[in-house]
Structure 1
């Protein structure tokens, strides 16, 4: 059987206040897909009950919970996802203090603890407050600092080359992916920020649109301290935001 060709999504965003045949088809799909069924009246009117059903679907399938039926939500409702979703059983581990965000990310990747990660990390890579030293080796082909750090934790490291949808899915098939991000809102262009804020991408689901508009990522962020955050984000939006702020990529 030939795999479906990659194509850009043509699904229209549907949201509360809209009416028409597309909304009616969505209501029919929600009645079929959700259990127990919301028993929506299939009148083509995207009202509060339809929005509530969309939110139920989004929560059940770790989509962005906004109550709007864009490509990602419609892919689930109409069984339009190209491949089976990937979601690794990552435990959310928040750090006990802000400086140890990086250690919490490593703990999530290695099924460990913040204390164990600190014990395994070479001392010369640590600052006095427990943060990582700013060994920014993004432009070093050997990635010397990143290689030492990764090897200490049984991981591999890559330079932050742009991710295509296909390459990220391939990486996630092998395990979760950790991004070492610039800590600071301005980034390299303004000479601000440093590495040390890590986030773990644990899951991916969606269609074959190479732009990523129809794909959702599941992200585990150690921030804020003592709490952490699980969230879902559209791949297309994530690439726009993350590509200029990623210092290194760590894989199992």
Structure 2
């Protein structure tokens, strides 16, 4: 049974009026035929209409198991040394290089989403996130579009850090977990912004070389100086980090190590 995916000028989504992609079988029209809209995420079957979303719980336990086994056959874009590892196989050189997991890869590896998506340092929510001026009218975050753009540049477009470590830093509110040093930038208005001041690093409690994963329980926000001291073996720093490591292992050892 072969399905063909294509578009036709007269095929539009009934919800948003955008062009849809069609999925038709080559052999017979007796098989289900579908239309897919990637704008409003509508999937419809000809003769039945729009298909309901989030119907997975309706399946029996046995069928759910079968479905999960089937989707495991979907090939991954990249190959990693182990589940949850950031050691990615580079096909051209046939060697492993270190790459932070994407949010998609994180969710697939650990079966959970990584939170800490947004962070707001404001103590007074009536003030602008960027310039600290009072908000007027219906504005809830920025007093002007210019402030919104400047904030976006600092915290996203020019933040110079991958998404996963950025969210770990957000979890720790951009403070070093060992010394309490402030690792966020302060803009020209004297406002603390959730972006690295270039002294922020993320430490793996269980080293990647020892099978440590990229799960958030294995990651710690530290300053460059602390990171350097730890790997040099400075006693006080090592003791402080190892204390946190021991506490995490008691509760999350199953997530802190990669799985074959």
Q: Do the structures match in fold with TM over 0.5?
A: no
Choose between structure 1 and 2 for higher RCO, CA contacts under 8 A separated by at least 6 residues. Answer: 1
TM-score, normalisation: structure 1: 0.21
TM-score (norm 2): 0.21
- Larger Rg, first or second structure (1 or 2): 2
